[in-house]
Amino acid sequence: MQQLPVHLRYDAAECMSIEAASRARDPVYGCVGVISQLQQQIIDVQSELVKIKGELAVHNAQQQLQLEDGEKASEQQQDELLWLGSTQHEPLNLDQLLIQANDYQKSHF
Kindly report, residue by residue over 26-45, the tens digit of the pLDDT.
888 888 988 999 999 999 99
Q: What is the pLDDT of residue 51?
A: 92
Q: What is the pLDDT of residue 98?
A: 64
Please compute Rg for the chain using Cα positions. Answer: 36
**Exposure string over 58-91, b if 16+ CB within 10 A, otherwise e:** eeeeeeeeeeeeeeeeeeeeeeeeeeeeeeeeee
User: Which parts of the chain have pLDDT scores under 70?
Assistant: 73, 76-109
Q: What is the pLDDT of residue 62?
A: 86
